[in-house]
């Protein structure tokens, strides 16, 4: 068997495509495979599908293919432009690559598989390619796969934001809480992000009226955005975000009080941690503080009581929250008086949890995937690339291969 014949079979090239010759360049460790087409070869029109179009002229194009062992391999191909009776002169499609890509399909598939597991910069080093070329592949496949997405069954969503890099810029994520996958990711964290999702939902056969439950934090942007875009959906305010607001009020009380009780300095951690997570010494210290009738200790009681809300039955929860609000409002602690107004105003969404049981903590799995996506996108500044990586890792997209 000749080397050209071997390569012909290995590349699975069929007539009229033919390996013409190959050259191995030792110093640069490159294998250059030259492919041509048989004289008189006929090709389908890439635009209308008309079969058996004759070649009009040809041009040489180059694709990078999978490595041949450790050697970088290029296909140099004499590709025809065909003459179609309907469409005129068109560049013929080739079976091993997408129209505008400089990589063969097999190499793209390898890059996509690696991208799920390795940072893109590491893949670039491994393949000896520029990372911008790899990002182009990732964006291309993600965009194509998203075009095929079907959101017609989506009925429960959770909204959350994540910082893109060092906390300066944000992306908003919309997650299907039942299928546990990211449906939509976009830059920003304002109400417009929800509006953008609504358009994306419709573009993927989803229906606004199908969306029955939404889970999110209490931020005005998401509240207003969802009320406008999904007026019929019932809203659950994520319990972890709500408890965080209570913790913030507690910490404000502590910071105010440490001006007269300097011994409170550095105790933030003791009050914010759940009692079960404290060491023996930390617990002792906390007990000591609590026995001093400090305002902070009072605030701490309120926080523990608020957390216990979520241990109530659905029937008891309404009265429990009402009592808690009355207690907090009358506590004389200004941060809690303010917080009570917020909680009272949004009590329906807080209590909705007892029926929907939705939380954004349910997205913890997805959040860890998003963190992984950030790590894999590190070293690249574009939010667009980060979003593509989020879809790749947490979107459960179907790329059309197993
Ligand atoms: Zn045509």
Q: Which residues are within 8 A (CB) of 27 and not within 5 positions of it... i.e. 6 or more apart?
A: none
pTM value is 0.87
Q: Is there a single domain that holds both residue 323 and residue 259?
A: yes
Do residues 218 and 267 share a domain?
Answer: no
The two tokens of residue 325 are 């609000």
Count of C-beta atoms within a 10 Å radius of residue 393: 22
Identify the CATH number of the domain in which residue 210 sits: 3.30.420.10
Number of H helices, E strands in the chain: 16, 11
Q: Are residues 372 and 351 in the same domain?
A: no
Looking at residue 200, its pLDDT comes to: 98
314 and 342 share one domain:
yes
Q: Are residues 161 and 297 in the same domain?
A: no
- What spacing in Å lies between the alpha carbon of 89 and ligand 1's midpoint? 9
Boundaries of domain holding 350: 240-356
Residues flanking ion ligand 1, Cβ below 5 Å = 45, 47-48, 50, 84, 86-87
C-alpha 47 to ligand 1 mean position (Å): 5
Point out the domain boundary residue: 75, 96, 117.
96
CB 285 within 8 A of CB 264: no
- What per-residue confidence (pLDDT) applies to 381? 63
Tell me the CA–centroid distance for residue 107 and ligand 1, in Å: 29
Query: Does 148 reside within a domain?
Result: no
Ligand 1 centre to CA of 82 (Å) is 9
Say how far apart CA 52 and CA 151 lie, in whole Å.
40
What's the 138 CA to ligand 1 centre distance in angstroms? 30
Q: Do 247 and 348 sit in the same domain of this protein? A: yes
Q: Answer yes or no: is 373 within a domain.
A: yes
Task: Give distance in angstroms: CA of 38 to centre of ligand 1.
Answer: 21
Total number of domains constituting the chain: 3
336 falls within a domain: yes
DSSP E strands in 2-155: the ranges are 17-25, 30-37, 42-43, 53-68, 71-84, 88-91
pLDDT 10s digit of each residue in the chain, 402 long?
678 888 888 888 998 999 999 998 888 889 999 999 998 999 999 999 999 999 999 999 999 999 988 889 999 999 999 999 999 999 999 999 988 889 999 999 999 999 999 999 999 999 999 999 999 999 999 999 999 999 999 999 999 988 876 667 889 999 999 999 999 999 999 999 999 999 999 999 999 999 999 999 999 999 999 999 999 999 999 999 999 999 999 999 999 999 999 999 989 999 998 888 899 999 999 999 988 889 999 999 999 999 999 999 999 999 999 999 999 999 999 999 999 999 999 999 999 999 999 988 756 678 788 888 888 887 766 889 999 999 999 999 999 875
- Whether 192 and 258 map to the same domain: the answer is no
Burial of 86 (0-12, 13-18, 19+ CB in 10 A): exposed
The answer to whether position 218 is within a domain reads: yes
């Amino acid at each position: 068997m000749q080397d050209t014949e071997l390569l012909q079979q290995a590349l699975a090239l069929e007539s009229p495509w033919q390996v013409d010759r190959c050259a191995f360049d030792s110093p640069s460790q490159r294998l250059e495979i030259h492919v041509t087409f048989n004289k008189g070869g006929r090709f389908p029109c890439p635009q209308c599908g008309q079969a058996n179009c004759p070649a009009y002229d040809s041009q040489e194009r180059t694709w990078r293919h999978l490595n041949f062992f450790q050697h970088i391999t290029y296909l140099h191909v004499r590709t025809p432009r065909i003459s179609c009776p309907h469409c005129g002169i068109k560049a013929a499609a080739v079976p091993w690559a997408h129209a505008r890509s400089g990589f063969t399909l097999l190499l793209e598939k390898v890059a996509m598989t690696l991208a799920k597991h390795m940072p893109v910069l590491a893949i670039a080093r491994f393949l000896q390619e520029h990372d911008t070329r790899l990002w182009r592949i990732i964006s291309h496949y993600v965009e194509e796969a998203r075009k095929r997405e079907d959101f017609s069954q989506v009925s429960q969503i959770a909204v959350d934001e994540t910082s893109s890099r060092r906390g300066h810029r944000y992306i908003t994520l919309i997650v299907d809480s039942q299928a546990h996958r990211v449906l939509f990711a976009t830059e920003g964290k304002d109400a417009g992000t929800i509006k953008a999702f609504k358009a994306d939902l419709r573009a993927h056969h989803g229906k606004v009226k199908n969306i029955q439950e939404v889970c999110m934090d209490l931020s005005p942007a998401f509240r207003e955005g969802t009320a406008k875009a999904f007026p019929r959906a019932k809203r659950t305010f994520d319990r972890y975000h709500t408890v965080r607001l209570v913790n913030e009020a507690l910490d404000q009380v502590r910071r105010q009080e440490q001006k007269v009780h300097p011994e409170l300095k550095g105790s933030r951690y003791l009050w914010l941690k759940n009692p079960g997570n404290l060491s023996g010494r930390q617990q002792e210290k906390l007990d000591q503080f609590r026995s001093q009738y400090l305002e902070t200790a009072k605030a701490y009681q309120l926080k523990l009581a608020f957390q216990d809300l979520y241990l109530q039955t659905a029937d008891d929860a309404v009265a429990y929250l009402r009592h808690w609000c009355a207690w907090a409002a009358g506590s004389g602690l200004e941060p809690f008086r303010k917080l009570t107004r917020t909680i009272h105003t949004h009590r329906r969404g807080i209590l909705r949890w007892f029926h929907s049981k939705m939380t954004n903590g349910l997205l913890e799995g997805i959040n860890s995937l998003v963190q992984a996506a950030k790590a894999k996108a590190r070293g690249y500044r574009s939010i667009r690339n980060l979003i593509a990586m989020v879809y790749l890792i947490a979107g459960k997209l179907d790329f059309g291969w197993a």
